Every structure is written in structure tokens, then in C-alpha cells.
Amino acid sequence: MTARVRSVNVGRAETGPAKRDRLTGIRKRPVEGPVEVREPGPRKGGLGSGLAGDFIGDAKYHGGTDQAVYAFAREELDFWERELGRELPDGSFGENLTLSGLDVDDARLGDVWRIGDVLLQVTDARVPCGTFRGVMQVRGWLRRFTERGRSGAYLKVLAPGTVRAGQPVELVRRAEHGVGVVDAFRAQTTERDRLPDLLHAGEDLCDQLRRRIEKEARAAARRAG
């Protein structure tokens, strides 16, 4: 099966399910026609999302260069439809790109995908938050999602352009190291002692993850006296 963009999804500003005094764009919906993809710049003072028209509510933890675009596999949404016994339309997990025919979670940090004239590079795993729990309204949702361990992937924009539903997704660069999206997810959730192992990704380790690893190392050094 050819890997394709099943839908391009953007979120509008809405009242958050977790904190009513905050707006969120997690409820993303498919849009018709081409959507501009651009480098959003830093979280603070930048454009937020890598997709034009996509709202980022909590800019402290979401959006910016290393989380410009979020991709999730339609096949994984299908799994959760069966598990939860309810329909999950494209965009239900807050993803910008719902992809079909591509094992998103098999990606390695640094992999590069081409969609039309757009180049995207895999940077990180998605770590679930309270807003995600609130919008799903499933008892024990964060635990269940974490146990499954298939989080989808964040991407940064290497070359801007436009994307639309139906376009093929081409893997143009496969990172030579073995550090994958699943490794990044586990290292940030259930296996925190593995966080330094992500350094094996070398130059493919995004700035955001590198800073976190360095912060954790400094904290460990202080605890050790």
C-alpha cells in the first residue's frame, strides 16, 4: 500500500476540556484543499503551528520548530476505534496529518519525508497531556495510551510548501542510527532512565530533546551532591 496523506487537520480556538480558562486547538478537523506548511519558529514569539490556520493554545509545551507538525497513522486510530467502541474521525488525537499505509511509529529520529514540495523531519514522540485526557473522556486514558506506546510523531519543516489529502508520502532519508519514535516515547514516560540513550541519535536529536536530556543530567548531578 502506498503511504498517503489521508487528511490534513487544523484546530480552531475552543474552550479547553481540562482548564476552562484556557483555549485549545486539540480538536482538529479535516480541511479541504491545500494547506500551507511553514517553519513556525520558536515557541515563544513564533507562529505556533507549522500549518497555517492551526491554533496552538499552550505555547509553553506545544508547537514551535521541533513540534511544527504532528502525524498519526489512520491504522492506529482504527485500533482505538475497536478498543473504545466508538468512531474516531481523522484528527481525533489532535494530529495535523492523518496518514495511511505508513507505520508512523516505526520512524526514527531524523527520518525525512517528502509530501509534494514539503520536506518534514521526524523529531520526537508525542507525550500525552491532560488536555488529551480531557478531550477523550475515557477513564484511565493516559495510562492506556502510554501502555500502547504508539504515539505518532512530531516533525519539523525542512522545506515549506503546501499539503493536501491524497498526496503520497515518500521516505527520502532513513536515519542510520536505531533511535526511533518509540524509544523517545518510552524514555520520556515509563523508562526515564533511558533518556540519555537518545543521544545515540547524534545530530538527528532535536534541540528540544537535547535540552531536556541536559536538564535531567544537571538535576541528577545536583542530587548526587
CATH number for the domain spanning 208: value is: 2.40.33.20
What is the domain count for the chain? 1
Per-residue pLDDT of the chain (225 residues; tens, 9 = 90+): 799 999 999 999 988 776 666 899 999 999 999 999 999 999 989 999 999 999 998 888 899 999 999 999 999 999 999 999 999 999 999 999 999 999 999 999 999 999 999 999 999 999 999 999 999 999 999 999 999 999 999 999 999 999 999 999 999 999 999 999 999 999 999 999 999 999 999 999 999 999 999 999 898 888 887
What pLDDT is attached to residue 1?
Answer: 74
Structural domain of 103? 4-223
What pTM was estimated for this model as a whole? 0.95
Cell 484546530 appears where? 11
